[in-house]
Amino acid sequence: MNFVATYLLGPFGEMIAYPPGVLETVIAGLGNGFLYALVAIGFVIIFKSSSVFNFAQGAMVFFAALNFAAMLKLGVPWYLAGAFSLLVMVVLAFTVERVVLRPLVGQDGLSLFMATIGVSFFIEGFGEALWGGDPKLLKIGLPEDAIFTIDYPWGEALGLDIIIQESDLLAIGVGLVMVLGLYVFFQYSRVGRALRAVADDHTASMSIGIPLNQMWVVVWALSGFTAFVAATVWGTKIQIEPTVINLALKALPVLILGGLTSIPGAVIGGCIIGVSELMFETYWGQPLFGGATTEWFAFVLAAFFLLFRPQGLFGEKIIERV
């Protein structure tokens, strides 16, 4: 009984006792979730068309942010700096595809995965060698303050005292725009449709004249672009230093939940992970387990889901034949 009281009644009681707290946590969790999703989308774009599990996505986010921040530090106006780092990302993505992955075509997934970890090491070293290893600020005037609802007439009228970080709203907004933009791109543009064809069947798409090599370059450039966007949003929250790369790890459970091939899945997965890990940390982890449960919660949750759906929440059913 004691157990139930501590671990179930307590936390849920607290939620019921102070509902605005739940709202606050959910919004903050969504902000995190969309950030994870922005990284995860980069994974999905590449995995979908070339079955490469690109672990370097986190390092690419770091590299984009590093270029951007270093240019700003040199006094370059933000739009030029942004354009420059976007260009660098596209070039980098192109190079990785040409130099690393092209020679590895046909190898098993594990080798490709390991190669992208190698890329991740290289990018980290390369970025820091270029711009120095000290943490940098990436400030381009995006909103990063906090909104206290109680300061506003409507908040006061509702008696709602919660805090919403503008960077969370930004992440949510940018994430939605990204998903919408990518949807339109894949659905209506010529290249996008070609990419979907490639994703469905390599050989068939080649036979109808889709240049596979060019398509992969497009795909990598696209993931470089998403890395750049993720970096810009991330930069409003924190300094740019190598722990940003760990983001790539958090994107893994997101991918598992969302399925490796679905962009909306990545967003939904991101939201589930972002919200649930923050809720767990706030109501269980911090008061009952000594905190820092965000370290593992996402992974344990993903593992738990996998036990029931081994192909992920939105993944296609795996059919095995001998």
Partner 1 sequence: MKKTWIASAAAAVIAGALVAPAATAQEEQYFPLLVYRTGPYAANGAQLANGQIDYLKLVNAKGGVNGVMLKWEECETEYNTDAGVECYERLKGNGKVAAVSPFSTGITYALLEKVVADQNVLFSMGYGRTSAADGRVFPWVFNFPATYWSQATSIMKYIIEQEGGVENLNGKTIGLVHLDHPYGREPIPTLETLSKDMGFELLLYPVPTTSMSDQKSIWLDIRRAKPDWIMMWGWGAMNPTAIKEASLIRYPMDHFIGNWWAAAEVDVRGSGVPAEGYLGATFHDVGDAAPVFAEIKEKVVAAGNGTGPESEIGEVLYNRGIANAAFIVEAMHTAMAEFGNKALSGEEMQWGFEHLDITDERIAELGLTGVIPPTKVSCENHEGSPAIKLQRWDGSKWTIFTDWIPAMNDVVRPLVEADAAQYAQENGITPRTCE
Partner 2 sequence: MLYRETGVFHGSYAEDQRVFKLPLDRYAVWILVLIAFLVIPLFASNYVLTDLLTPFLIMSIAALGLNVLTGYCGQLSLGTGAFMALGGFMTYKLVTSFPTAGALFGIQLPEISILGFEPFDIWFFVMLVATGLVTAVVGLLFGLPSLKIKGLYLAITTLAAQFFLLWLFIKVPWFTNYSPAGIAPAPPQTLFGFSVTGAASPVVNRYLFVLALTIIAALAVKNLARCSFGRSWMAIRDMDIAAEIIGISPTFAKLSAFAFSSFLIGIAGALWAFVKINSVQTDAYGILVSFQVLFMVIIGGLGTVLGSFLGAAFVVLTPILLNIGLTAMNPLFVAVGFGTISIAMIKHIEFMVFGSLIIFFLIVEPHGFARLWQIAKQKLRTWPFPY
Site residues, partner 1 (CB under 8 A): 18, 21, 24-25, 28, 31-32, 128, 133-135, 137, 139, 145-146, 148, 163, 165, 237-239, 241-244, 246, 278, 281-282, 285-286, 290-292, 294-295
Which candidate, 78, 72, 63, 38, places its Cα nearest to that of 263? 38
C-alpha to C-alpha distance for 278 and 208, rounded to whole angstroms: 48
State which of residues 120, 223, 236, 261 lies at the interface with partner 2 (CB under 8 A): 120
Given partner 1, partner 2, none, residue 24, with its beta carbon under 5 to 8 Å by kind, binds partner 1
- Least separation in angstroms between CB 250 and partner 1: 8
C-alpha to C-alpha distance for 312 and 322, rounded to whole angstroms: 22
Write the interaction track for partner 2 spanning residues 280-309; mark x where CB under 8 A is met and - where it is not.
---------xx-xx-xx--xx-xx--xx--
State which of residues 113, 185, 284, 314 lies at the interface with partner 2 (CB under 8 A): 113
State which of residues 13, 118, 173, 181 lies at the interface with partner 2 (CB under 8 A): 118
- Least separation in angstroms between CB 290 and partner 2: 5
- Least separation in angstroms between CB 311 and partner 2: 8
Say which residue the tokens 């790369």 belong to.
Answer: 245
C-alpha to C-alpha distance for 125 and 242, rounded to whole angstroms: 10
Given partner 2, partner 1, none, residue 121, with its beta carbon under 5 to 8 Å by kind, binds partner 2
Question: Closer CB to partner 2, residue 154 or residue 304?
Answer: 304
Q: Whole-angstrom distance between the N-terminal and C-terminal Cα of the chain?
A: 50
DSSP-derived secondary structure letter, 240: B
Given partner 2, partner 1, none, residue 319, with its beta carbon under 5 to 8 Å by kind, binds none
115 SS3 class: helix
C-alpha to C-alpha distance for 222 and 232, rounded to whole angstroms: 15
Check binding of 104 to partner 2 (CB under 8 A).
Answer: yes
Q: CA angle, 35 as apex, 34 and 41 as ends, to 5°?
A: 80
Given partner 1, partner 2, none, residue 210, with its beta carbon under 5 to 8 Å by kind, binds none
- For residue 163, the cross-strand partners are 148
**C-alpha distance from residue 110 to each of 155, 258, 274 (Å):** 52, 21, 28
Is beta strand 163-165 parallel, antiparallel or unpaired with respect to 146-148?
Answer: antiparallel
Residue 259 φ/ψ region, left for φ over 0, alpha for ψ in the -120 to 50 degree band, beta for the rest: left
Check binding of 241 to partner 2 (CB under 8 A).
Answer: no
Question: Closer CB to partner 1, residue 183 or residue 289?
Answer: 289
Which candidate, 64, 54, 76, 80, places its Cα nearest to that of 232? 64
C-alpha to C-alpha distance for 119 and 104, rounded to whole angstroms: 13
Check binding of 314 to partner 2 (CB under 8 A).
Answer: no
- Least separation in angstroms between CB 186 and partner 1: 31
Applying CB under 8 A, the span of 78-86, 102-110, 148-156, 225-233 interacting with partner 2 comes to: 102-110
Given partner 2, partner 1, none, residue 119, with its beta carbon under 5 to 8 Å by kind, binds partner 2
C-alpha to C-alpha distance for 230 and 227, rounded to whole angstroms: 5
- Tell me the angle at which helices 263-280 and 19-50 cross, rounded to the nearest 10 degrees: 140
Alpha carbon 284 to chain centroid distance?
25
Site for partner 2 in 48-67 (CB under 8 A): 53
Q: State the residues that interact with partner 2 by CB under 8 A.
A: 53, 99-100, 103-104, 107, 109-111, 113-115, 117-126, 128-129, 132-133, 249, 252-253, 256, 289-290, 292-293, 295-296, 299-300, 302-303, 306-307, 310-312, 318, 320-322
